[in-house]
């Protein structure tokens, strides 16, 4: 899942980016309000972490403009401590949740996970397809009760596919949501990672594969087909 951070304090932005990348998210960072608004409008993200006090355009205005333009990406707003006015204003302008500064990274992660959950997803932390499960909190992946070790990108790819279970995802979709803007991507990067993933979640299990190729369209994960 791909996250955009808009925060002018480089130290905070950098720490968040590194922390989130360790959790397998693809992360873009902007340090200025206008740049943040332009990036949010131009690229697809699954979540925006938005500071309130920003040069050129503040967080409220960004949120308001994005919503007015039909962008419904979940927004987590970073507000100043004890500023109830900020919180109310933030939620009114279209933010989905807020976090007063300073915050603990653990709490931020929990909010991020909650916001990335689709509204009708009652399962919470566990995503699944057939006998495969992925725990978004512990990052544990299992099939038929057996633990599977994945690299960070393999995990990110699997998480994205499971969140869109039974939908065909184009290579472009996958690239946009699993890799960040600065990533080195070759034309066959997605294929290569799909192969890595199949070798770990499908091949060893002598069962019909969970990852299916839809020729000319892309890939999907679903209940296994024979
Ligand atoms: Ca700021």
Are 132 and 34 in a shared domain? no
Structural domain ending residue among the three candidates 59, 89, 119: 119
pLDDT at 82: 73
Encoded tokens for 131 = 């006998």
Domain of 161, CATH number, reads 1.10.10.10
**Residue 226 located in a structural domain:** no
Ligand 1 centroid distance, CA of 85 (Å): 16
Ligand 1 centroid distance, CA of 180 (Å): 23
* DSSP structure class, residue 218: E
Q: How far apart, in whole angstroms, are the C-alpha atoms of residue 137 and residue 116?
A: 12
Ligand 1 centroid distance, CA of 160 (Å): 30
Are 103 and 167 in a shared domain? no
pLDDT at 226: 47
Are 10 and 114 in a shared domain? yes
Query: pLDDT tens, 183-197?
Result: 888 879 999 999 999
Q: How many domains are contained in the chain?
A: 2
- pLDDT category of residue 123 using cuts at 50, 70 and 90: low
Are 86 and 148 in a shared domain? no
Q: What is the dihedral of CA 17, 23, 24, 27, to 10 degrees?
A: -20
User: Containing domain of residue 95, as a range?
Assistant: 2-119
Domain of 105, CATH number, reads 3.40.50.2300
């Amino acid at each position: 899942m791909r996250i955009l951070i808009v925060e002018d304090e480089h130290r905070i932005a950098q720490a968040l980016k590194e922390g989130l990348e360790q959790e397998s998210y693809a992360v873009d960072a902007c340090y200025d309000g206008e740049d943040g608004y332009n990036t949010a409008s131009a690229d697809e993200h699954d979540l925006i972490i938005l500071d309130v006090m920003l040069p050129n355009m503040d967080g409220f205005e960004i949120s308001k403009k994005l919503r007015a333009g039909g962008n419904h990406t979940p927004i987590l707003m970073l507000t100043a401590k004890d500023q109830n006015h900020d919180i109310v204003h933030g939620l009114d302008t279209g933010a989905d949740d807020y976090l007063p500064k300073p915050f603990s990274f653990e709490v931020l992660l929990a909010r991020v996970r909650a916001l990335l959950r689709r509204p009708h997803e009652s399962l919470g932390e566990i995503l699944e397809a057939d006998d495969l499960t992925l725990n978004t909190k512990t990052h544990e992946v299992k099939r038929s009760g057996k633990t599977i070790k994945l690299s960070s990108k393999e995990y990110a790819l699997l998480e994205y596919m499971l969140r869109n279970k039974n939908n065909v995802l184009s290579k472009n979709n996958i690239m946009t949501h699993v890799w960040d803007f600065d990533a080195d991507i070759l034309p066959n990067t997605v294929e290569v990672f799909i192969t890595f993933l199949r070798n770990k979640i499908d091949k060893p299990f002598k069962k019909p594969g969970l990852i299916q190729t839809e020729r000319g369209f892309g890939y999907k994960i679903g209940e296994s087909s024979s």
